[in-house]
């Protein structure tokens, strides 16, 4: 039985498991049986299964009992009261086969005086108000021994800074992350916030849709498939799965899910330890007199500058928070730190100061895309990627749009264009099919169709002009008639009814598969945040903003800026798995870029410059159509203006 199989089986039961516990089960002479025993006997109040939750003597006794039963022996009337099978007191220490370790059965009412031997760090018993460690890699440089159990100081869980009081945001709150106060529990909550009887329910809700480490479930049974000549499979879509009502614990679940998935990606590249362990150990000096380098993974909760021009990042994980200093003398590292955003998950390698209060960073690690990512090949034909049609606007470029429809119908004057049109299998629209109502100030002054439903009926007329053999996939944007909070569900059925049968409606974002090629659709509203926050990112080169999303493996890294985000049970913005194509829109400018075998396309618009766009100095690039070859991912740009 592989270690990954142990972790997967535990997650399917809505638990987490520490690396030490994984090793203990894996090294057993019967890992499958031991795992089954642990999952059947673990206390329901446990969130993370540690080695203190594994009763080896109880397991040995159960195996002996099983052997007696399976041999069919019925000649022992005193079997149930046999001294060999006497029940063990919950608080009674049990001697392990390993003479150097002690295993204590968990008992919330009794605190252990000693913790089990660990190959990494001490694993404290759960105390009220703490959050157990999530999955961490063992730390190889720690000597085995017996650690004294101690309660986790409150400072590990709650920030000591003046900004440590945060009121749970209201439903779909859009408060800026820079403006709201933060404390450790703002990301990950505290175990005491739920009664122990509710832990199981909370844990099952948190992990019910995550049978593995990925955001998008690996179970093909959950996919929605549209077979046919041009098949489409919807892999991930919020439509019909939103459960958010704006309660406090939903925000906690959302951030825990984000951290869990992104930290697992980083953990495959560095040997990180929990932040809590930094405050419990003295770090030895290296061979040249310097301190040993250690690594942590955390969510960026605060970014500040010192009077000397250095930068301080405050990182949080489920065990606590810790400040990290980026010195301006390291130009390359300081430049990288200047592009770090609030709420993104990063890894940091560095050394701890003498007083143990600060980490001096030497390396920053983002989730990023692996260098060896492979493209999916074997498909054929073309996919047309467009967005921001804005039907109903007086600035809608109808003549250019009709020329585009003529191209799709094979009615172009040029033979080469007709041949190209014959190879088109898909048209993907990444949001803002119509202009909507009341989206920006004085919008009604620039509308030809003042009723949003009439706008959709007109759009449906246009879509009916597209040949029936071409699959049309429509995702919403901020101008469409769905909730403004992202992730957004697909357009309502009352609107879908006006469209032909070759149209497939998905949410925003949505991961789909076009005959084997995975395409991630996101309207792209978070581009506004990235342009405002990251030096060098601009509306004129929107693919650069998408590249920054990909480096962070997240479509909307900063929570609560311009993008209103609904705190769902899982973070639909995490980019995992890595798709072949990411298709965005929103900013009305065209951009195409490749990054580590991933094609990034920000499609243009079919709307001329509005008065609002003039005021914000946004110059659109209308009537440009990127067409992607699904076999080799080459891109052609057609102009219809």
Specify whether the backbone of 634 is left (phi greater than 0), alpha (psi in -120 to 50) or beta. beta
Q: Residue 439: its pLDDT value, please?
A: 87
* Residue 467, pLDDT above cutoff 70: yes
How far is Cα 159 from Cα 183, in angstroms, rounded to an integer? Answer: 5
How far is Cα 62 from Cα 279, in angstroms, rounded to an integer? Answer: 40
* Residue 226, pLDDT above cutoff 60: yes
* Residue 117, pLDDT above cutoff 70: no
Question: Pairing relation of β-strands 48-49 and 16-17?
Answer: parallel
DSSP string, 104-121: E---TTS--SBPPP-SSS
pTM of the full structure: 0.69
Q: Residue 80: its pLDDT value, please?
A: 40
**At 26, which helix (H) or strand (E)?**
helix 19-26
Q: Residue 521: its pLDDT value, please?
A: 98
The average pLDDT across 10-14 equals 72
Q: Residue 355: its pLDDT value, please?
A: 83
How far is Cα 454 from Cα 10, in angstroms, rounded to an integer? Answer: 51
- Of 271, 248, 138, 113, which is closest to residue 186 (Cα–Cα)? 248
How far is Cα 427 from Cα 424, in angstroms, rounded to an integer? Answer: 8
pLDDT by residue (tens digit) across 473-492?
999 999 999 999 999 999 99
* Residue 288, pLDDT above cutoff 70: no
Share of the chain above pLDDT 90, in %: 56
CA torsion through residues 225, 231, 235, 236, sign: negative
Query: What's 146's DSSP letter?
Result: P
Q: Residue 372: its pLDDT value, please?
A: 82
* Residue 604, pLDDT above cutoff 80: yes
Secondary structure of residue 494 in the 3-state scheme: helix
Q: Residue 148: its pLDDT value, please?
A: 33
Q: Per DSSP, which regions of 134-271 are E strands?
A: 224-226, 232-237
CA torsion through residues 43, 571, 131, 116, sign: positive
Q: Residue 402: its pLDDT value, please?
A: 97
* Residue 295, pLDDT above cutoff 50: yes
The average pLDDT across 79-90 equals 38
Per-residue confidence band for 283, with pLDDT thresholds at 50, 70 and 90: low
What's phi and psi for 143, nearest 5 deg?
-75, 140
Q: Residue 615: its pLDDT value, please?
A: 83
Per-residue confidence band for 45, with pLDDT thresholds at 50, 70 and 90: low
Q: Residue 620: its pLDDT value, please?
A: 93
pLDDT, greater one: 640 or 182 = 640
The average pLDDT across 497-518 equals 96
Is residue 2 within 8 Å of residue 30, measured between CB atoms? no
How far is Cα 248 from Cα 502, in angstroms, rounded to an integer? Answer: 41
* Residue 431, pLDDT above cutoff 90: yes
* Residue 145, pLDDT above cutoff 50: no
The average pLDDT across 489-518 equals 96
- Of 417, 418, 427, 449, which is closest to residue 436 (Cα–Cα)? 449
The average pLDDT across 508-529 equals 96
How far is Cα 443 from Cα 440, in angstroms, rounded to an integer? Answer: 6
Three-state secondary structure of 44-79: CCCCEECHHHCCHHHHHHHHHHHHHHHCCCCCCCCH
pLDDT by residue (tens digit) across 323-367?
999 999 999 999 999 999 999 999 999 999 888 889 999 999 999
How far is Cα 569 from Cα 258, in angstroms, rounded to an integer? Answer: 10
Secondary structure of residue 483 in the 3-state scheme: coil
Question: Pairing relation of β-strands 581-584 and 598-602?
Answer: parallel
**At 35, which helix (H) or strand (E)?**
helix 31-41
CA torsion through residues 207, 208, 209, 212, sign: positive
Secondary structure of residue 37 in the 3-state scheme: helix
Per-residue confidence band for 465, with pLDDT thresholds at 50, 70 and 90: very high
Give the CB-side neighbour count of residue 45, counting CA atoms within 13 A.
16
Q: H-type helices in 524-636, by residue range?
A: 527-533, 542-552, 611-615
pLDDT by residue (tens digit) across 532-586?
999 999 999 999 999 999 999 999 999 988 899 999 989 999 999 999 999 999 9
Q: At what angle do helices 199-207 and 248-267 cross, to 10 degrees?
A: 60
Q: Residue 451: its pLDDT value, please?
A: 94
pLDDT by residue (tens digit) across 168-205?
333 333 333 343 344 434 566 644 333 333 333 333 44
Q: Residue 222: its pLDDT value, please?
A: 62
Q: Residue 65: its pLDDT value, please?
A: 67
Q: H-type helices in 208-318, by residue range?
A: 248-267
Q: Residue 571: its pLDDT value, please?
A: 95
**At 602, which helix (H) or strand (E)?**
strand 598-602
439: exposed, middle or buried (C-beta count within 10 Å: 0-12, 13-18, 19+)? middle
Is residue 430 within 8 Å of residue 480, measured between CB atoms? no
Question: Pairing relation of β-strands 591-595 and 581-584?
Answer: unpaired
Share the mean pLDDT of the chain. 78
* Residue 159, pLDDT above cutoff 70: no
Q: How far is CA 94 from CA 26, 27, 106, 136, 536, in A?
A: 21, 19, 11, 26, 61
pLDDT, greater one: 513 or 101 = 513
Query: What's 462's DSSP letter?
Result: H
The average pLDDT across 58-63 equals 84
Query: What's 431's DSSP letter?
Result: S
How far is Cα 208 from Cα 217, in angstroms, rounded to an integer? Answer: 10
Share of the chain above pLDDT 70, in %: 72
**How many CB atoms are located within 10 Å of the residue 479 CB?**
27
């Amino acid at each position: 039985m592989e270690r990954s199989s142990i972790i997967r089986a535990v997650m399917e039961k809505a638990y987490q498991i520490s690396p030490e516990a994984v090793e203990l089960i894996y090294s057993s002479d019967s890992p499958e049986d031991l795992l089954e025993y642990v999952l059947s006997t673990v206390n329901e109040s446990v969130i993370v299964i540690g080695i203190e939750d594994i009763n080896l003597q109880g397991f040995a006794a159960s195996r002996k009992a099983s052997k007696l039963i399976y041999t069919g022996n019925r000649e022992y009337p005193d079997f149930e009261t046999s001294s060999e099978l006497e029940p063990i007191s919950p608080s009674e220490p049990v001697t392990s086969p390993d003479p150097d370790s002690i295993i204590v059965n968990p008992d919330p009412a009794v605190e252990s005086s000693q913790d089990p031997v660990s190959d990494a760090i001490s694993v404290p018993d759960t105390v009220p108000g703490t959050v157990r460690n999530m999955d961490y890699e063992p730390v190889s440089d720690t000597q085995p021994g017996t650690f004294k159990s101690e309660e986790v100081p409150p400072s590990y869980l709650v920030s000591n800074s003046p900004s440590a009081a945060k009121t749970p945001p209201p439903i779909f709150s859009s408060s800026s992350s820079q403006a709201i106060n933060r404390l450790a529990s703002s990301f990950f909550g505290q175990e005491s916030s739920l009664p122990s009887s509710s832990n199981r329910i909370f844990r099952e809700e948190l992990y019910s849709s995550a049978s593995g480490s990925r955001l998008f479930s690996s179970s093909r049974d959950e996919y929605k498939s549209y077979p046919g000549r041009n098949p489409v499979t919807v892999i991930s879509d919020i439509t019909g799965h939103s459960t958010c009502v704006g309660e406090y614990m939903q925000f906690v679940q959302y951030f825990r899910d984000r951290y869990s998935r992104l930290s697992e990606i980083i953990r495959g590249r560095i040997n990180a330890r929990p932040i809590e362990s930094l405050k419990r150990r003295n770090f030895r000096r290296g061979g040249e007199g310097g301190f040993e380098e250690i690594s942590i993974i955390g969510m960026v909760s605060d970014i500040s500058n010192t009077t000397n021009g250095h930068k301080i990042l405050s990182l949080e994980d489920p065990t606590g928070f810790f400040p990290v200093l980026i010195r301006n003398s390291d130009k390359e590292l300081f430049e990288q730190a200047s592009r770090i955003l609030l709420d993104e998950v990063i890894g940091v390698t560095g050394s701890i100061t003498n007083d143990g209060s600060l980490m001096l960073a030497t390396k920053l690690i983002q989730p990023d895309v692996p260098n060896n990512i492979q493209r999916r090949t074997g498909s054929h034909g073309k996919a047309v990627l467009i967005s921001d049609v804005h039907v109903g606007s007086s600035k809608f470029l109808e003549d250019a749009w009709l020329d585009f429809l003529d191209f799709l119908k094979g009615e172009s004057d040029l033979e080469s264009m007709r041949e190209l049109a014959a190879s088109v299998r898909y048209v993907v629209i990444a949001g803002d099919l119509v202009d909507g109502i009341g989206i920006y100030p004085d919008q009604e002054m620039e509308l030809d169709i003042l009723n949003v439903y009439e706008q959709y009926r007109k759009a449906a007329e246009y879509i009916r002009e597209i040949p029936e053999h071409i699959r049309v996939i429509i995702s919403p944007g901020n101008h469409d008639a769905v909730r403004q909070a992202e992730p957004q569900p697909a357009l309502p059925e009352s609107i879908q009814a006006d469209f032909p049968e070759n149209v497939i409606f998905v949410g925003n974002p949505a991961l789909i598969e076009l005959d084997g090629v995975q395409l991630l659709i996101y309207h792209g509203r978070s581009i506004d945040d990235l342009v405002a926050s990251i030096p060098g990112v601009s509306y004129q080169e929107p693919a650069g903003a998408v590249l920054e999303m990909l480096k962070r493996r997240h479509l909307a890294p900063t929570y609560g800026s311009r993008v209103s985000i609904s705190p769902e049970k899982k973070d639909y913005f995490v980019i995992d798995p890595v798709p072949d194509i990411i298709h965005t829109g929103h900013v009305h400018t065209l951009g195409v870029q490749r990054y580590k075998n991933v094609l990034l396309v920000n499609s243009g618009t079919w709307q001329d410059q509005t008065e609002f766009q003039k005021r914000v100095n946004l110059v659109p690039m209308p009537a440009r159509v990127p067409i992607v070859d699904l076999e080799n991912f080459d891109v052609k740009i057609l102009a219809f203006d």
